[in-house]
Structure 1
Amino acid sequence: MNTKHEITNRYDVLIVGFGPAGAVAASMFGQRGHSVLVIDRMTGIYEKPRAIAIDHEILRHFDNMGIAEDVLPFVAPFTASQHYGAQGQLIRRIDMVPEPYPLGYTPSMVFTQPPVEQVLRRHADSLDTVTIELGTELIDLTDTGHEVVATLRSSEGEVRNVAAKYAIGCDGASSTVRQLAGIVLEDLVFDEPWLVVDVQVHDAALEKLPQTSAQFCNPARPTSFIIGPKNHRRWEIMLLPGEDGREMENPENVWQLLSPWLAPEDGDLWRAASYRFHALVAHDWRRGRVIIAGDAAHQQPPFIGQGMCQGLRDVSNLVWRLDRILKGQSSDALLESYTTERKRHVRTLTGKIKAIGQMICERDPSVAAERDARILSEGGGQPPTITRQEIVPPIEEGLIGAEGAPGRGLLFPQPAILAYGETVLLDRVIGHDWRLLLDGRKVSSDDAQALAQTAQGITVCTIAAAGSADVSDGVMHEKDGVLANWFDRHGTIAALVRPDHYVFAGAADIPTLRQHLDDLQTRLA
């Protein structure tokens, strides 16, 4: 630690990195009343697109933050993705689950990153307890045991020390926070060179392109095609042995690669960037009072567009834990399950993404032909359809109920609620802290009242089916049966739901539900 400089300010949380994960973390802490300093060595937003996909879980968090309406103008539904085999034949589809959508939003979406990132930053900046310092670099970090002291250098060269109760590194794949904390990355064994190309396609040329997103699983040159918002189209093109990534970024080489679809006069080249698609995960996500999230904690291939989603899942998982700790409601031990949950989730999802990537990236024509035949056989001779939501796993271990508890670790649905002649999503009605949702078809009003008296610090809500005559206090009526179907599917009468919308546990009867409540209170303390 640089001891020449006195500590100039103290905060609850220091966030290093003001990309999407850092901006969302700053807003979530600020909305909970915590003092936050967020720094970034850059002075502005990168003006070209990088991430392109989000999903309904992330938009739900944006809605909880109060910014969904500001984000939606830059978002569009993710079209179905068609996978084409070695001979150009359709071998598989990846689509969305049908309506009514389980979380109330289109399950898979594409977005334009720069304006969305601007919305995220503007929201963080609007909060009184959030301080933002751009053009500021972290150069040292020391955990004293009761706080973290950070040495910062401004763009003018001024060096000073600040302190925070916790420091969070959201500072990307080359994270300074991770390096200073001595956290190492585990290699999940995926390393492929790709070129990512973004084009603003002219209106007249749009009809020349596929009308859905596509994976061209061609051994000669595996390629992904993604339909972004409006005229934005993206190609992810595998580079072949001997091709230099920087050289392939040159416009003449890019247009040569795009020649099966477009000519230079058909659009404006927005970005061409070569990458190595990696699969990495941090061994530890926390060292004392220093924590990492987002690309600082993991990197994964982009084949189902979950990179930014995973970073925001990290943040939503972390913030409610630190909120309780900072408010004295839970001990520091609550952070132990952060690494457990998120690392397992990342490893499981990365394994699935790797399998998809290895299928797409197959370069051996005979093996590719066998792959195509196998996939078609699995569909009974027809191209099978899977949904992106089937690919994203639940929480498998951590702060969830005992093994065998129905629904444990699943992302909980959000039904549309009928209220005063309007349709409103559930979170907007009851909030998004700890919640106990009861099946109004099976739980009596007396039991609901008794549970509400004992479930300290938990919002208790009974959901009745549309058309139900039950008008008891605290009973809400859902519009489409989304929650009733969930209760039936899992054989439960209730679900205990965390602030990040994952199920702690479901219960098939009242005595079991009380056991889960007791278990939760013990573990939170």
Structure 2
Amino acid sequence: MGLEAGPDGSLGYRTTQVRGLQEGSGVRALRRAVKNKDRFLQAGGLTVQNDNAKPGHYSVLIVGFGPSGAVAAGLLGKKGHRTLVIDRLTDIYDKPRAIAVDHEILRHLDNMGIAGEVLRYTAPFTASEHFGAQGQLIRRIDMVPEPYPLGYTPSMVFTQPPVEAVMREHAASFDCVEISLGTELIGLSQTDAIVSADIREADGTVRKVTADYVIGCDGASSTVRQTAGIRLEDLIFDEPWLVIDVQANESGLAKLPKASAQFCSPSRPASYIIGPKNHRRWEIMLLPGENPHDMEKPENVWKLLSRWITPEDGSLWRAAAYRFHALVADRWRERRILIAGDAAHQQPPFIGQGMCQGLRDVTNLVWKLDRVLKKQSPDSLLNTYGVERKRHVRELTGKIKAIGEVICIRDPEAAAARDEQLLAEGNGVPRTITRQEIVPPLQEGLLTAGASDARGTLFPQPAILKDGGSVLLDHLTGAGWRLVIDGRSSVKASSFADTAKEIGLSVAAIVPAGEAETGTDMLVEEDSVMSGWFDRYGAAAALVRPDHYVFGAARDASELATQLGELKSCLG
């Protein structure tokens, strides 16, 4: 099916408050978000009134307005929760940092109504070819083929500054979301009932606010994490690398590889990534004795790039030295304080999952927080957030770390043995693995006790035939709790309608094209993605969470009734 833009990305702007802004790309995006007839500008900065707000107290305080914080704010805004977002910076960082996004995240952005805008700044992620010590191809990492299981190209590259602006603009469109930039968290305390925060605004004013919950999305050196006394566990990976972004011109593009690559040379390992349009990225290992600051200087950067291009072939966009770490928080919640994104974990970038991990955090957390704030579920539901995300992050980071360790071998004999082993795994032919098989399912948390292999996996999103065309499943069922039934099975939706309504589930039965009976209200899928999923797992029905993970998959009506009972109990 290829790319599906979903909704057109148009935003319904409402009143909000935006403080402490200075002109720049991110500010211009927020100005667009509040440019309407009932807005007004006050001297000394942009302040848009929200007459419905009660000053001083919020349902949620979000510290950090990067991608994770912006998406969390947008999700909470859509649910109607009064939210304050603060960030010590006054604008979006204008250089690229994250570069990869996957179909799970695009599905969430579609649910938010911004996928159409985001897709303007994306391109499919080319296969990554791994070359050994002698320059020979030893492995490929690609993406799963069509028909794409979640409705989007499974692996994509993107340009962060404009994508981040779209996320911020969406958050700013809700009247219940207040944004305060140039604002720093300077104190945080909590009781069993409330969190109090001291914040210093752009003009130096210090004010105290309170919130029911705080989400720390404030990066690797997170003040929220440190204040809450949460430690980072070291998963033992620490390598110095230089990340280089270039905007290549025509001569440069003609010289460069046409696929992304990992150059696993023991003399100096390096990665090459094809970004959108003319954006090209290199990640190059720094060697012992090389000063990271010195290696960032343009003359040294171009020396490192000389095997590929020269200064005449493009312009240097960014060069930044990093230490690639593998870290995960020992816990993700301290009573009413929660952490997400880089505040909770850091991993090497070898399959481009850094930002995806942070957005998985907030899409896992916010629907649970929504239920707790609305008193639909007990506060203990939030405990499943850390349980689920910590294990998932540890497992995925372990796999990324293993890939990194293979790439980073410096000993020539060990590198030769690695090359021989990888080729042997494909019987002498370079083997292809997919990025999607590297990302694990959920293993524990808010899941059925049943033993189905589908439990904890991402639920597919087929294209559904409608009005002479097709539409993605979530556009018809919504993205809340769902009961999805294999229309070919003996399980009948009508038998579970009352229970589904009581729990708050939407219900849909799906059949492949050509198998729908006339007069039924079953949904008909275009490419047998859904029927193939049911066949693979031997399931007749699935209970799907708002973050698209499978709570449970049932083989028959009896098993489904048991799982519905479990779900009702879990949600409280």
Give the TM-score normalised by the residue count of structure 2: 0.90
Residue number in structure 2 paired with 1:355: 402
Q: Secondary structure at the match of 2:235?
A: strand
Q: Is residue 470 from structure 1 mapped to residue 510 from structure 2 by the alignment?
A: no
Q: Is residue 319 from structure 1 mapped to residue 366 from structure 2 by the alignment?
A: yes
Partner residue of 1:19 out of 61, 66, 69: 66
Give 1:308-457 correspondences, 5 Å limit.
308-443=355-490, 447-455=492-500, 456=502, 457=504
1:296 and 1:8 mapped to 2: Cα distance? 28
Is contact 1:406-1:507 (8 Å) kept?
Answer: no
- 1:411-467 superposed Cα distances (whole Å, 9 cap, x missing partner): 1100000112120000011100000100001135xx211112212210111001112
Superposition RMSD on alpha carbons, in Å?
Answer: 0.9
Q: Is residue 89 from structure 1 mapped to residue 170 from structure 2 by the alignment?
A: no
The structural deviation recorded for 1:468 is 2.2
**One-letter amino acid matched to 2:221:** S
Q: Secondary structure at the match of 1:18?
A: coil
- 1:444-499 superposed Cα distances (whole Å, 9 cap, x missing partner): 5xx21111221221011100111223245541100000000000000000110000
Q: Secondary structure at the match of 1:173?
A: coil
Q: Secondary structure at the match of 1:54?
A: strand
Is contact 1:414-1:483 (8 Å) kept?
Answer: yes
Is contact 1:8-1:160 (8 Å) kept?
Answer: no
- 1:278-306 superposed Cα distances (whole Å, 9 cap, x missing partner): 00000010000000000000000000000
Give 1:34-73 correspondences, 5 Å limit.
34-73=81-120
Residue number in structure 2 paired with 1:228: 275
**One-letter amino acid matched to 2:523:** M
Residue number in structure 2 paired with 1:173: 220
1:405 and 1:215 mapped to 2: Cα distance? 37
The structural deviation recorded for 1:331 is 0.2
Residue number in structure 2 paired with 1:114: 161
Give the TM-score normalised by the residue count of structure 1: 0.97
Residue number in structure 2 paired with 1:135: 182
Cα gap change, 1:355 to 1:178, in 2 (>3 Å)? same
The structural deviation recorded for 1:239 is 0.2
1:471 and 1:245 mapped to 2: Cα distance? 68
The structural deviation recorded for 1:132 is 0.4
1:217 and 1:207 mapped to 2: Cα distance? 23
Is contact 1:15-1:22 (8 Å) kept?
Answer: yes
2:74 and 2:327 mapped to 1: Cα distance? 27
**One-letter amino acid matched to 1:452:** A
1:207 and 1:365 mapped to 2: Cα distance? 31
For these two proteins, the number of residue pairs brought into alignment is 517
Q: Is residue 151 from structure 1 mapped to residue 198 from structure 2 by the alignment?
A: yes
Residue number in structure 2 paired with 1:211: 258
1:521 and 1:297 mapped to 2: Cα distance? 30
The structural deviation recorded for 1:403 is 4.7
Percent identity over the alignment is 66
Is contact 1:199-1:234 (8 Å) kept?
Answer: yes
1:104 and 1:502 mapped to 2: Cα distance? 15
- 1:35-74 superposed Cα distances (whole Å, 9 cap, x missing partner): 1000000000000000000000000000000000010110
Is contact 2:516-2:522 (8 Å) kept?
Answer: no
Residue number in structure 1 paired with 2:127: 80
1:421 and 1:406 mapped to 2: Cα distance? 35
1:119 and 1:8 mapped to 2: Cα distance? 27
Q: Secondary structure at the match of 2:56?
A: strand
**One-letter amino acid matched to 1:454:** T
Is contact 1:95-1:387 (8 Å) kept?
Answer: yes
Q: Secondary structure at the match of 1:119?
A: helix
